[in-house]
Chains A and B, each alone.
Chain A
Amino acid sequence: EVHLLESGGDFVQPGGSLRLSCATSGFTFSNYAMSWVRQAPGKGLEWVSSTSASGDNTYYADSVKGRYTISRDNAKNTAFLQMNSVRAEDTATYYCAKPKGDGAYYAMDVWGQGTTVTVSS
């Protein structure tokens, strides 16, 4: 069974940093792109970032570009999201998600349960 488990969410002050992890199992991680999607409290879904299967190609929403970095360790079947210079508007539940196919341009068929990031002084 495919499984994604996010961790690393926490309370953080504005301007601070946080690193989220997404541990995966049940599929050949190195064959798939991975994405992060967030949801602010009571709001809709916002795509944040994606990485190609190799990690060579990365993509970001304009709202996080230059502050967030997506990466992956294919040997450990884990994806990461480094969040720097966080702002109050980054407060959200962050989900990692796996695409249905072996490229970036697929619907996301498996989602983790999410990890909560709260940015507040």
Chain B
Amino acid sequence: IVMTQSPDSLAVSLGERATINCKSSQSVLYNSNNKNYLGWYQQKPGQPPKLLIYWASFRESGVPDRFSGSGSETDFTLTISSLQAEDVAVYYCQQYYKTPQTFGQGTKLEIK
């Protein structure tokens, strides 16, 4: 499954909304449990990835509520409702619906 993110990079003003899109080449919705096998990760320089969102829309414990995930089947979105300085990072989507698990190419988020 190929994961394609858009845009590749994004500059947003502090306090403004940031939106990152992720499209999968096939559906990652498992009909038997109605779950989308899609996660979002944040990676800051020199650090490992950090899980933000799983099952496409469930926020990981400890993740600020300005982060939200949406979408289903093949089209997904990560939204940061009010950008903070500490949100500067690269963001990746990942499908874990089938092996090989695959990641998007990443979206670099910067402050405008």
CB pair B106–A44 under 8 Å, yes or no, is yes
Which residues of chain B have C-beta atoms less than 8 A from A47's C-beta?
94, 100-103
B67 contacts A by Cβ under 8 Å: no
Across the interface, do B39 and A107 meet the contact criterion of CB distance under 8 Å? Answer: yes
Interface residues on B, range: 20 to 34
Identify which of A37, A108, A111 gathers the most chain B CB atoms within 10 Å of its CB: A108
Q: Are A105 and B103 CB-contacts (below 8 A) given A45-B49, A111-B49, A114-B48?
A: no
Number of A-B contacts (CB under 8 A): 58
Q: How far is the CA of A105 from the CA of B35 in the complex (A)?
A: 11
Which residues 30-79 of A sit at the B interface, judged by CB distance below 8 A?
Answer: 35, 37, 44-47, 50, 59, 61-62
A85-110 interface with B by 8 A CB criterion: 95, 99-100, 104-109
Which among A100, A113, A114 is the interface contact of B54 at CB below 8 angstroms? A100
Residue in A46, A95, A105 whose CB lies within 8 Å of B97: A105
Measured between beta carbons, the chain B residues less than 8 angstroms from A111 are 48-50
* Known pairs A44-B92, A105-B96; A113 contacts B39 (CB<8 A): no
Contact with A along B17-51 (1 / 0, CB 8 A): 00000000000000000000101010100001111
Residues of B bordering A, CB below 8 Å? 37, 39, 41, 43, 48-51, 54-55, 60, 92, 94, 96-106
Interface residues of A (CB under 8 A from B): 35, 37, 44-47, 50, 59, 61-62, 95, 99-100, 104-109, 111-114
